[in-house]
Amino acid sequence: MKHSEPTLIDVKMMRLALKEARKGMGKTSPNPAVGAVLAKNARILSKGWHQAAGCAHAEIEALRSLKNKSSAKGATLYVTLEPCSTHGRTPPCCESIITSGITRVVYGARDPNPKNAGRADTILRESGIEVLSGILEPECASLNRAWNKWILTGLPYVIAKTGMSLDGRIGSPKGRRWITSEASRKDAMQLRATSGAILVGAETVRSDNPSLTVRGIPVKQQPLRVVWSRSGNLPPDCHLLTDEHREKTLLFESKSLREVMQDLGRRGIEQVLIEGGGRTLGEAFDEGLVDHIVFYVAPVLIGGETPSVGGCGVETNESAIRLTNPTYTRIGDDIRIDGRVDYSLRLNSSGC
């Protein structure tokens, strides 16, 4: 069977499917966020997105949204992720696609699980359905970067976030808790809202008494609050142990950060946001656990001995940890630095 090349209409429809998928960001764990569009003759028939684990998948939502069910015959389905081909909490989408009369399926990213990757292609083609894959694949794959890593490794995707001064310090002067602006802190709430857990070191709890909750943004549920500690000693009256979300606080004592991440992965946590302090972030980088960084830099100089990232460091500048395609965004007077972490030049060169 000869398969067509993508058209401008295919790209346009996939962008609309991506827009649908983004509606589910932070709401679908332990499932991926997926969007779908049904179209015929360049005309949109319906759209759908996966709203939560256990709910209908995006493809099924799009089929259910059709005003005329028979209009699916001869239509093209655009979906950001390869349609599922196995039974889970819901039946496989491939079955519904085949019985609907859809004649063409265009999807963005392949299922990262080696047991499933490409299986839908075979099932659908054997039923006479044309399949085209890889449309806007980078955008579709990055949509579920945390889920992809968790599926393949069992470990959560780790984002390191901190707010610091221009000279890389996180210790606020007396009488001032915040270094970065209110606008930066509001922006950072989006990171909390899309993470399954927020992790800090015990010293951060003792010095700052954070609540580690999502505020100002509606969320299905608050993320887990994780404290990494050597001694296990926390102030008994701290927010994490006394507020309304105290049942969502986990304390890990005398465990390595890698062991903590393995435990969180077993709990189904796909993304962890590490918010500090400097020793905790240093350990995370030393262990090669961080996948992504979001640093907010304020135009102030503080000095002192509390660095944003501690740890052992590297032996030479050439072996420093670097960012891949970083972006720099101005938020008020602050700068947000955002990028994937690249350990490839490190070559186990650590100052430990």
Beta bridge partners of 158: 272
Which candidate, 60, 58, 64, 59, places its Cα nearest to that of 27? 58
305 is catalytic: no
- Rounded to the nearest angstrom, the gap between the alpha carbon of residue 233 and the centroid of all alpha carbons in its chain is 31
- DSSP class of residue 71? G
- The single residue listed with the structure tokens 């090669």 is 288
CA angle 13, 15, 20 (to 5 degrees): 95
Q: How far apart are CA 219 and CA 132, in angstroms?
A: 35
Please provide the DSSP assignment of 259-270 as one string: HHHHHHHHTT--
Tokens of 145: 């970067």
Of 59, 270, 275, 283, which one is the catalytic site residue?
Answer: 59
Q: How far apart are CA 112 and CA 107, in angstroms?
A: 13
Cβ proximity of 228 and 257 under 8 Å: yes
Q: How far apart are the first and last CA of the chain?
A: 58
Instruction: Give catalytic residues, as residue numbers.
Output: 59
